[in-house]
Amino acid sequence: MAAPSPKQQYASLSDEALAALAQAGDQKAVAALIDRYRPLVSAVSARYFAASMEADDIAQEGLIGLLSAVYSFSPGKNASFKTYCAVCAVNAIRTAVKADAGRKHAPLNSSVPLEDAELAEDLSPEQIVLSDERAVFINRFIGTRLSPLEQAVLKQHLNGADYRTAAAALGITEKAVDNALQRARSKLAKALNDY
């Protein structure tokens, strides 16, 4: 009978034993705990939403919380590793979502007054033509490749409307506004990369 592989040996260890090994510097134990609890972190992160964060970014914050749990878990605190891991993941995600919410006014806070901005007269004729061509491309793309809802939401956004105002103006939910805006941004980013 063959001896169990190192991966099988780690799979048979308890969470607490793996945490102790990880805290002692065993990177395979860290990897085993991450593999074991990645589905839990994914499930937890799926319940959260942030205006300018992708779902993958939120899940990444949850994994950072999981890693924190691996290194800070203490078995004598009357909580299982699973419970502790879930709490750490939730706390990391909530912290990131709150920080994201605090950055929503960053463009307004870091804007430059018009009189200080670089004006078009500083551009060469070639730069002006290229800029005009790009603007025509973007306008054509918006009119032909974005859905009517995405166009309406993008127009509200470009006019400075927040999600609540845009939702009220369009008669949809704030979540629908966010989803449409994220789709429009994604399509525009891809189109501009291909341009």
Please list the alpha-helical segments (H only) found in the chain: 6-11, 15-23, 27-45, 55-72, 81-102, 106-109, 125-145, 148-158, 163-170, 174-194
The CA distance from 190 to 55, in Å, is 18
Q: pLDDT digits over 128-169, tens only?
A: 555 566 666 677 777 788 888 888 888 888 777 888 988 899
- Note whether 126 and 157 are within 8 A (CB): no
- Note whether 53 and 104 are within 8 A (CB): no
The CA distance from 61 to 170, in Å, is 33
pLDDT above 60 (res 114): no
The CA distance from 63 to 59, in Å, is 6
- Confidence tier at 60 by pLDDT (50, 70, 90): confident
**pTM of the full structure:** 0.50
Domains in the chain (CATH in brackets) are: 11-102 (1.10.1740.10), 120-194 (1.10.10.10)
pLDDT above 50 (res 117): no
